[in-house]
Amino acid sequence: MPPEGARYDGPVIDTHVHLQSGDTPVLGTRSHRPNDYLRATRNIHLRAACALAMAPRGNREETRRRNDWVLSLSRRPKSPFLPFCSVHPLDGAFALGEIDRVARLGARGLKLHPNTQQFDVADPKVRSIVERATEKGLPVLFDAYSPFDPAQPGKFVQLALSVPTARLILAHAHGPNFPQLLVYPILSLYPWWPRQVWIDVSMIGELLAPSPFAEQLAWVLRKVGTDRLLFGSDYPLAPDPQKSLLSLRRLGFKYKEIRAIAYDNAVALLGLPKVDERQG
């Protein structure tokens, strides 16, 4: 186990939040409406949270409804929520047009999930989606752990190379396959590598911080670079964002490292205004 890191009481941006729009919980049985999340984060200095949509395939009306709902969250008074909308990559021209629409309406990013949406990261249609999102200034957050596709980490590298100006966020750090992230510090040795890939440590940090793998995970993440790491809670699958944040300390990160992971990197990536240092 790595030695415990610094206490952190600074500002936080949560880049991975699933919220419930209707009466029935979407994930699990626990209510996870926006106000539930805000109550769960009352003991951290939350500055912003990326609310993620998930588009079904072939259902234009439902895709628009889900996107419109996360967009509406950002319009609430004093809302911390940043809308990350979604399309299904196999929905062709509709998906491209929907990216244009949500970008125009204020989306801050795009969320894609190869497992849930059942698509292959190497599909040329995925590249087209990433290209259009990049044209519209939207980073693309992928769920980046698949127990079904052992080649998926390499496919993300190929995607980053094929759309070198894209800003890709790989959620969950490849899960149990996190050592494969070492490809990124190797690629960084080459001048042609754009370093446009960020790693979201949602769930994986909390899962492995108390485990025998903690020291290895922290070592790999530092090799990737703490300037390319993002904090995410994966709420409500991880129901306590404060505990998720504590996992960074349990992994042995120092205060400046946690500040970068929990706040500074997301500010730079998403183009957000930075709070005064004295505010946290």
Letter for the amino acid at 213?
A: F
Rounded-to-10 torsion of CA 27, 32, 34, 39: -140
Q: What is the pLDDT of residue 28?
A: 77
pLDDT in tens, the chain (280 residues): 788 887 899 999 999 999 998 777 788 778 999 999 999 999 999 999 999 999 999 999 999 999 999 999 999 999 999 999 999 999 999 999 999 999 999 999 999 999 999 999 999 999 999 999 999 999 999 999 999 999 999 999 999 999 999 999 999 999 999 999 999 999 999 999 999 999 999 999 999 999 999 999 999 999 999 999 999 999 999 999 999 999 999 999 999 999 999 999 999 999 999 875 544 4
Chain centroid to Cα 262, Å, comes to 12
Three-class SS state of 13:
strand
Tokens 């946690």, residue located: 258
Q: What is the pLDDT of residue 2?
A: 80
Determine the Cα–Cα distance for residues 191 and 115; give it in Å rounded to an integer. 33
Q: What is the pLDDT of residue 130?
A: 98
pTM of this prediction?
0.95
Q: What is the pLDDT of residue 277?
A: 52
User: Which superfamily does 11-272 belong to?
Assistant: Metal-dependent hydrolases (3.20.20.140)
Which residues are within 8 A (CB) of 22 and not within 5 positions of it... i.e. 6 or more apart?
none
Strand segments (E) across 53-121: 81-85, 109-112
| Lookup: tokens for 62 | 């439902």
Which residues are within 8 A (CB) of 264 and not within 5 positions of it... i.e. 6 or more apart?
274
Q: pLDDT tens for residues 180-227?
A: 999 999 999 999 999 999 999 999 999 999 999 999 999 999 999 999
Letter for the amino acid at 54?
A: M
Rounded-to-10 torsion of CA 89, 93, 96, 97: -140
Count CB atoms within 10 A of the CB of residue 106.
12
